[in-house]
Every structure is written in structure tokens, then in C-alpha cells.
Amino acid sequence: MKDYPRIVVAPPGPRAQAEVARHDRYASTSYPKEYPLVVARASGAMVEDVDGNRFLDFMAGIAVAATGHAHPRVVAAIQEQAARFLHICGSDFYYDGFSSLCQRLAALAPGPGPKRVFLTNSGTEAVEGAIKLVRNSTRRPGLIAFTGAFHGRTYGAMSLTASRARQREGMGPFLPEVYHVPYPDPHGCEACGRGPDCERHGVAPIEDLFARRLAPRDAAGIFVEPIQGEGGYVVPPEGFLRRLRALCDAHGILLVVDEVQSGMGRTGRMFACETEGIEADVLLVAKGLGSGLPIGAIVAREAVMKWEPGAHGSTFGGNPVCCAAALATLDLVEGGLLANAAAMGERLRAGLRALAARHPVIRDVRGRGLMVGLELASPEAVHAAEWGAFRRGLLVLGAGPRTLRLAPPLVVDAEDVDAALRLLDETLAAPA
Ligand code: PLP
């Protein structure tokens, strides 16, 4: 029997309320904030708040705590590196952890061709760097992205993002030469009515774009999430990535696969795009890579990452402590967490399908591994479920217009999954 979830005072308790008030007095008003969770400590899949409540974490700090909170091997790697040196600037000088992480990621990226790696501090910086890279490499301006996509908050990444108007409101003008096309509906395309197995499904809108608005010879890159994250955990139909790959090959366009949320073992494979057997020209990772420390990466085919010295750099990107955390994370993900994510994901989805039979508010259960979306009837139902789960000791988050996302640390076991299902069952029966 585990010592969590355990609610000892209805959250937010008095200490949590005081912290929320202090934060709200001084912090930027832009932070969206989901619910008043105020963390004191966390371990594995357990998060304890300042009032002594223990929560079962099924959001992992937005799909970041891949190895669980404060995994002892990650913490030891961080401490060991911190005691040696904290910083020297990997853009200008050399150290073992930087080279090791580049070498490791280059070997892990799917596809036979040799790769090179640029290390960043975040997902949005990986996207930002990839925009520069594809333009620099092709000497073309056009960027193609999908409706519903989330690629980050800096200007280039925000220009590709089309997930919520609120994120762009009052921020324009955006980067020029960005074209958005619909992300394929897994059930088929309304326009042609031929279903998801149509050989043009998902790429027909891009072909149309090429015919009417953007000559393919002006397109530098197509940016795609292999499973849309913030857009609502949308799984595209089988074959979509292969069709995109073929389209890119036909026109000399670079395929940029944004695995910031879906990568690092979350789907039960190291990278979600592996299911389609494609090789990305540019693969982006962040979030889970450092188990909570800020690090991301642009992994590109060697023929693509050939920009001149000085073309791109970063003071902190690939910081030695973050590299140590990332190397320890990779050891753990490869050393068993991938298989666990696949098995626990199966268990979770089977349990959710059983819940769907009892709760008509559930409209769809989808996902791969531990990247699971539960589509509910309305945005209000998602909001009520988030709060209801929080009050019962379960941390979940919404995604997209009406999806509850379940993205626990990859260390969850059967007892955790069953506890989450029980709490969701209770929550959906009486959300308040
Ligand atoms: N790309 C994807 C697919 C994401 O889900 C996110 C964040 O949610 C980002 C990029 C941006 O990452 P960050 O918040 O680290 O800048």
C-alpha cells in the first residue's frame, strides 16, 4: 500500500492559499495557472503540497518528469556535476557531458543517416533554432505548420503555433511566410469523404497550398508534432508522417518533427515518429530530456546541419549540470522505462475504455504509451474534472478544446494506474 494519494486538508489548504496570494501579488499576470497546487516536495509519481496533502501525479509538470520526481540517479548525476563545475559555455568551449549528450542523441535519432546536435535550454528555443536552420540550409523562406499546433512562445515558435488564439492575441505581427494547414482528422477528411486510409489524407491541404499560394520551391520546412500535444493529444491517422516525408522528398523541403512533448519515451518508444519508420531531417526534443532541468536539442541530419561557425549559439544551452541530468535520464529511459510506459499505457487505456462505457461524458480515449487523451463532452467538463481530481488527490491537466491529458511520469506502476482510474471514476461521477 502506498502513502499517496492522501488528502489531509481540502486543497488549497491555508499554507497553499497564502502562497498563492503572495505569488499573485508579485508574479506576472500572464501565467495561465490551472489550479492552486503549491508544491513542497515530490518523489517518483508523488507530489506533496505545503499543507501535507499527497497527490498522484498524472501530468508530470506538463510531461517533463519522465523519470519521476527527483529520481536518485538523476539527482546524484546533478550533484556530482554541480560539485565539479556549473558553467563554462558550451558554445565556446568543450566538456565531456556536452559531447556525450550530442553523441548519444545523434545515435538515438531514428534513421540510418549521420546526425549532428545543437543543445538548447527549452522547447521553444529548439523550435526557434530549427526555423533558422531550415531557412539557412535551404535558402528558402516558407514555413508550413498545422492548425492546433503548439511549438512554443518565442516569436518564431509562436508564429508556427495555432493552438489557442489567446496565446497570439495582441502579439502580432508574426514571422512572415508562415502557412498553416489543417492537422488530419483521425476519422477522415470531410472534404473528400474518403476516410483515413485515403492516400492523400493529411497532405491534400499542403498540395492545395502548393497549387495556389506557396510554390514548393519556396518552402523551407514542414513543422509537425507526431501526436499533437497542447492541441488536444490528437493522434493522426497511420501513414500521415510517411506521406509528409514523401512530399518533402519530392520538393526538397525539410521535415521538422517536433517531439518536445511526445519524445523521450512518453509514447512507449523513444520517439513517437518511430511508429511510422520515418527519418526526420530535423528532430526536436526538450521537456522530458532533463527530467526537470532545462535542456532541449535540435538533432539534424548531417547534410542539413552545416551552418557556418557563429550562425547559432547560446550562453546556457547544454549547461553541464543539465547535460548530466539528460545523460542519466537517457540511461533510465533506455534501461526499462520505455517498456514500462508501453505496458502502463495499455493498462491505462483499457481502464479508460471501461470508464467510457459507464460515463457518457467521455467521448474518446486515445493516445500511445503514457501520452493519453480523454476527450470529454465540453470544455466545462474538462475544467470540472481537473478540479474534481485535484480535490481527490490526482493531478491532471486539460489540452486542446475539451481533452483531459494523462501524462504521468514514466515510472508509474500498476497500483498508480489503478488508483488514477479509481479517482477518475469518482470524479466523473461527481466532478465537484
Ligand atoms: N513544442 C511542443 C510540441 C510543446 O508541447 C511545447 C511545450 O508545451 C513546446 C514546443 C515549447 O516548449 P517549452 O515550453 O519548453 O518552450
The pLDDT tens digits of the residues spanning 205-262 come to 999 999 999 999 999 999 999 999 999 999 999 999 999 999 999 999 999 999 999 9
pLDDT bracket for residue 200 (50, 70, 90): confident
- List pocket residues of ligand 1, CB cut-off 6 Å: 122-124, 127, 150-152, 225, 229-230, 258, 260-261, 286
C-alpha cell at 33: 495557472
pLDDT at 195 over 90: no
Give distance in angstroms: CA of 83 to centre of ligand 1: 30
> What's the burial of 179, exposed, middle or buried (CB within 10 Å: 0-12/13-18/19+)?
middle
Identify whether the C-beta of residue 46 lies closer than 8 Å to the C-beta of residue 431: no
Give distance in angstroms: CA of 316 to centre of ligand 1: 18
pLDDT at 98 over 80: yes
Q: How many CB atoms lie within 10 A of CB 209?
A: 18
pLDDT at 196 over 90: no
Give distance in angstroms: CA of 248 to centre of ligand 1: 23
**What does DSSP say about strands 219-224 and 142-146: parallel, antiparallel, or unpaired?**
parallel
pLDDT at 348 over 70: yes
CA–CA separation, 19 vs 293, rounded Å? 23
Q: What is the pLDDT of residue 186?
A: 77
The reply to whether the predicted model has a pTM over 0.75 is yes
> What's the burial of 284, exposed, middle or buried (CB within 10 Å: 0-12/13-18/19+)?
buried
Atom of ligand 1 nearest to the CA of 262: 3
Give distance in angstroms: CA of 161 to centre of ligand 1: 10
pLDDT bracket for residue 201 (50, 70, 90): confident
**Comparing C-alpha atoms, which of 364, 366, 367, 384 is closest to residue 375?**
364
Give distance in angstroms: CA of 357 to centre of ligand 1: 33
Instruction: Give kind and range of the element (H or E) at residue 398.
Output: strand 397-399
> What's the burial of 15, exposed, middle or buried (CB within 10 Å: 0-12/13-18/19+)?
middle
**Comparing C-alpha atoms, which of 66, 128, 36, 98 is closest to residue 316?**
98
pLDDT at 189 over 90: no
Local structure of 258: helix, strand or coil: strand
Identify whether the C-beta of residue 292 lies closer than 8 Å to the C-beta of residue 281: no
β-partners of residue 180 are 145
Q: Among 120, 125, 224, 260, name the best residue to mutate to test ligand 1's pocket (greatest count of ligand atoms within 8 A of Cβ).
A: 260
CA–CA separation, 46 vs 44, rounded Å? 6
Local structure of 5: helix, strand or coil: coil
**Comparing C-alpha atoms, which of 401, 408, 428 is closest to residue 164?**
401
Identify whether the C-beta of residue 297 lies closer than 8 Å to the C-beta of residue 288: no
pLDDT at 114 over 90: yes
Atom of ligand 1 nearest to the CA of 296: 15
Sign of the CA dihedral with 36 first, then 39, 40, and 42 last: positive
Helix residue spans in 148-202 (DSSP H):
155-160
Local structure of 273: helix, strand or coil: helix
* 3 phi, psi to nearest 5 deg: -95, 20
